[in-house]
Chain A
Amino acid sequence: MQTLYTKLKQLFKLGELTEQRQDLAFITVAQEQLRPLLLHLRDREGFTHLVLLTAVDWMEEGQFQLTYLLNDRAGARDIGLRVMLPRDSATMDSIHDIWPTAATYQRELREMFGIGFPDSPGVNDEFILEGWNDIPPYRRDFDTLKYSEENYSHRPDRETTDPAQHMKQQLYPDEG
Chain B
Amino acid sequence: MKEELKKRVIKGPDGFEFEVDPLQDYYCEAPPTVQPAAYQKIVEKIFNWARSESIWILGFGTGCGAIEMRPLMTPRFDAYRFGVQWRPTPRQANLFIISGYLSTKTLKRAIRSYEQMQNPKYVIGLGSCTINGGMYWDSYNTIKRLDDYLPVDLYIAGCMPRPEALLAGFEEMKKIIRAGKAEGGNLYAENFDWYKANQKKVIHDWDMPEHSW
Q: How large is the interface on B (under 10, 10 to 19, 20 to 34, 35 or more residues)?
A: 20 to 34
Please report the C-alpha to C-alpha distance between residue A153 and residue B148 in the assembled complex, in whole angstroms: 8
Interface residue? B139 (CB, 8 A): yes
For A130, give its contact among B137, B139, B201, B205 (CB under 8 Å): B205
Return chain B residues, CB-CB under 8 Å to A132. 204
Q: Is residue A144 contacting chain B, with contact meaning CB distance below 8 A? A: yes
The verdict on B62 contacting chain A, using a C-beta distance below 8 Å, is: no
Which of the candidate stretches B39-47, B81-89, B100-108 sits at the interface with the other chain?
B100-108
**A residues near B1, Cβ cutoff 8 Å:** 131
Q: Is the CB of B203 within 8 A of A131?
A: yes
Contacting residue for B140 out of A131, A147, A153, A158, CB 8 A: A147
Residues from chain B with a CB closer than 8 A to the CB of A134 are 140
Nearest CB in chain B to that of A156: its residue: B132
Q: Which residues of the other chain, A, contact B108 by a CB distance below 8 angstroms?
A: 130
Q: How far, in Å, is A68 (CB) from chain B's closest CB?
A: 27
B202 in contact (CB, < 8 A): yes
Residues in chain B near residue A130, CB distance under 8 A: 104-105, 108, 203-205
A10: Cβ under 8 A from any B Cβ = no
B137 touches A137 (CB 8 A): no
CB distance from B31 to the nearest CB of A (A): 22
Taking CB atoms, residues of chain B closer than 8 Å to A137 are: 140-141
Q: Enumerate chain A residues within 8 angstroms of B203, measured Cβ to Cβ.
A: 130-131
Instruction: Give chain A residues whose Cβ lies under 8 Å from the Cβ of B139.
Output: 144, 148
Known contacts being A129-B105, A132-B204, is A155 close to B144, with CB within 8 Å?
yes
> Which residues of chain B are near A151, meaning CB under 8 Å?
140, 201-202
Question: Within 8 Å CB of A158, what residues of B?
Answer: 132-133, 137
A164 at the interface (CB under 8 A from B): no
| Contact A145–B141 (Cβ < 8 Å) | no
A154 lies within 8 A of B140 (CB)? no
With a CB–CB cut-off of 8 A, which chain B residues contact A4? Answer: none
Count residues of chain A with CB under 8 A from any CB of chain B: 19
Tell me, yes or no, whether A128 is within 8 Å of chain B by CB.
Answer: yes
Cβ-based interface call for A133 (8 A):
yes
Bitwise interface map of B from 129 to 144 toward A, beta carbon under 8 Å scored 1, else 0? 0011100011111111
A134, A144, A147, A151: residue with the most chain B Cβ atoms closer than 10 Å: A151
Contact A155 B138 (CB under 8 A): no
The answer, yes or no, to whether A172 is at the interface (CB within 8 Å) is no
CB A114 to nearest CB in B, in angstroms, measures 14
Assembled-state Cα–Cα distance A131/B132 (Å): 23
User: By the criterion CB–CB under 8 Å, are B144 and A131 in contact?
Assistant: no
The residue in chain A whose Cβ has the minimal distance to the Cβ of B147 is A155
Do residues B143 and A152 form an inter-chain contact, with CB atoms below 8 A? yes
Tell which of A133, A145, A148 touches B204, judged by Cβ atoms closer than 8 Å. A133
CB within 8 Å of A: which B114-170 residues? 131-133, 137-145, 148
Q: List chain B positions with a Cβ less than 8 A from chain A.
A: 1, 103-105, 108, 131-133, 137-145, 148, 198, 201-206
A selection of 15 A-B contacts at a CB cut-off of 8 Å is A128-B105, A129-B141, A130-B204, A130-B205, A131-B204, A137-B140, A137-B141, A142-B140, A148-B137, A148-B139, A152-B143, A153-B144, A155-B144, A158-B132, A158-B137
